[in-house]
Chain A
Amino acid sequence: MSGILGDAGPLSLQVWRRNLEVYLVTWRTACVSVVEPIFNFLAFGLGVGTLTREVAVDGAAVPYEAWVAPGIVAMSIMFQSFFDCLYGSYIRMYYQRTFDAITATPASLDDVVVGEALWGATRALIGSLTTLLVLLAFGHARTPAAAAVPLLAVCGGLLFGSAGLCFTGIVRNIDSINYPLHLVGVPMYLFGGLFFPVDAMPGWARAIAAANPVHHLAEALRECCGGGLGPRVWLTALGLLAASVPLLALALRLMRRRLVK
């Protein structure tokens, strides 16, 4: 139990790989989470887009559909990782006793938790890529700069996945997962400026958005989907990554407290 991530080591990659294999074996259910961003894009891009044709960004008018598209990528990144590390990890931990099975081998609980977070980041990556495909199909990401999306997805996924694992470490039962999901997760993306610009909102709401990582993720995604690869993109990736380290460390502590009896 030394470093900030406890004694997690290379075996966390085997935990990650196990989850990947389950995902591939159960690809039919996995497909559902791929369809979701398509629906989101249709509802927000094409649906809401009929009400609001344009959004003013730095004085320039951008079509709403093009503006909201990266927001849907952000939503996908956040939700895939947060949800899997919350609901998915809870099922693996409690109902399937997968953590018990793995920790009976040379792998430690820290390996398991780090592996779960890496898997959360991977879910975010998969989510971002499928959403990106949808955007490409609708012509909203035709720029080489969109290649930065996967990077942002992994960094963001690690952060939201770690947050999910913190809650997994403390929720009382499967029903209580609704609290972090609906009281933390949903407001984070609803008020993160994904579907409407935060500039138009009152000062306090803007202040909250400024502290919301989903907001920063969305802004960075907008920049690279719009063709820019400025410092905002790299700083956001770095910031998300840096913030996920202490959060993951917290998740490790909470999980140890819950499971080491």
Chain B
Amino acid sequence: MRAPAVSIRGLRKTYRGAPPGAPPAVDGLDLSVAAGSCFGLLGPNGAGKTTTIRILCAASPRDAGEVAVLGVDPALEPRVLKGRIGVVPQLDNLDPDFSVLRNLLVYARYFGIPAPRARERAAELLRFVRLEDRSGDPVEELSGGLRRRLVIARALLHDPELLVLDEPTTGLDPQSRRVLWDRVRELRRGGKTILLTTHYMEEAEALCDRVAIVDRGRVLVDGAPADLVRTHARRSVVELRGESAALASLAAPPDEVDRLEDRTVIYSDDGETLYHKMIQSAPGADAHLRRATLEDVFLRLTGRGLRE
């Protein structure tokens, strides 16, 4: 078995200047990302995803814990490590004064890629992210989706072994998002390890081999999305509204029931049978049967309250 691409144990970090008594941004986080896999870091706002990513990309120092990225400790050999990973930050930082192509050519120089090779590579990558027709356009004129794709191309110039994407699809329309998914899948097929964060659970289910749900700087659970759904939200979900909530009493262990303000949610391994029982005993009840998703797991584990 190959060594994990990322391995983190007991990671801790409190930002300097954080208000006294504020909880650490990362508080004993453990994580292992298998080489060649796509791993999703999920969690509410402020959970510590970006902080974790910044630490493993050598952009931020840590207070405690062991971190090995591609076998390298980011705190000890940042330059070596940064030459082997590609980073797509949460906030775009393209050069607004340059064209699409020049953004890539200039960036390639920081990796020591010789100019002729950089030109080839840039052309290749612009095709890869479907921007080949826009290479002379000023970056300022690109839409959010195109900018995101350009940032991804830029992160791939030096053919990194690990690609780290912090919320790559936030703010994108469904079409752009799917183009991006498609590109990420292709990279994974090509053998790259991918670590991404997202607030879209269907994105994590669509892309990731494994995910970790992080909250308050700690991993709550990790595993394959389907396994997590089965363990924490069963196979199916029946949602009941209003009067019909009384029907929740029909649920029997190991079914699990969450009572929310406006509805009751029942997680069941056999939601179909449960649903039909309900419809029979109260025809016309406001009941709704659906497949359990990662979003159910996320909400059950991290709670429904707002974070920030």
Contacts and interface: CB of A to CB of B under 8 A. Distances in A.
Interface of A: 11, 14, 17-18, 21-22, 25-26, 96-98, 100-108, 260-261
A261 B26 CA distance: 13
A17 B59 contact: no
Given A14-B109, A100-B91, A104-B82, 10 more contacts: A17-B109, A18-B95, A21-B106, A22-B98, A97-B92, A98-B95, A101-B107, A105-B107, A108-B78, A260-B61
For A11, A103, A105, the residue with the greatest tally of chain B CB atoms inside 10 Å of its CB is A105
Given A101-B107, A106-B110, A261-B60, A96 B96 contact: yes
Contacts of A98: 93, 95
Contacts of B61: 260
Contacts, number: 64
Q: Which 6 A-B pairs have the closest CB atoms?
A: A97-B93, A105-B110, A101-B93, A104-B87, A106-B79, A22-B97
A239 B91 CA distance: 42
A105 B111 contact: yes
By secondary structure, the A interface counts as: helix
Contact of B106 (A18, A97, A104): A18
Contacts of A103: 59
B94 interface: yes
Contacts of A17: 106, 109
B95 A100 contact: no
A14 B118 CA distance: 14
Nearest to B83: A106
Given A25-B98, A96-B96, A106 B111 contact: yes
Interface of B: 15-17, 57, 59-61, 78-80, 82-83, 87, 89, 91-98, 102, 106-107, 109-112
A21 B102 contact: yes
Contacts of B109: 14, 17-18
Nearest to B88: A104
Contacts of A108: 78-79
Nearest to B138: A25
Nearest to A13: B109
A104 B59 contact: yes
A111 B94 CA distance: 19
Contact of B112 (A96, A97, A102, A106): A106
A113 B111 CA distance: 18
B17 to A, nearest CB: 8
Nearest to B106: A18
Contacts of A104: 57, 59, 82, 87, 89
Contacts of B111: 105-106
A22 B96 CA distance: 9
A14 B97 CA distance: 16
Nearest to A29: B97
Nearest to A14: B109
Nearest to B112: A106
Contacts of B102: 21, 25
B95 A261 contact: no
7 contacts: A96-B93, A97-B89, A102-B110, A104-B89, A106-B79, A106-B112, A261-B15
A11 B79 CA distance: 11
A21 B89 contact: no
Nearest to A105: B110
Contacts of B97: 22, 25-26
A219 B112 CA distance: 43
A96 B94 CA distance: 8
For B60, B83, B107, the residue with the greatest tally of chain A CB atoms inside 10 Å of its CB is B107
A252 to B, nearest CB: 16
A171 B112 CA distance: 33
B110 A107 contact: yes
A26 B61 CA distance: 36
A11 B95 contact: no
A98 B16 CA distance: 23
B121 to A, nearest CB: 14
A260 B60 contact: yes
A17 B110 CA distance: 11
Nearest to B154: A101
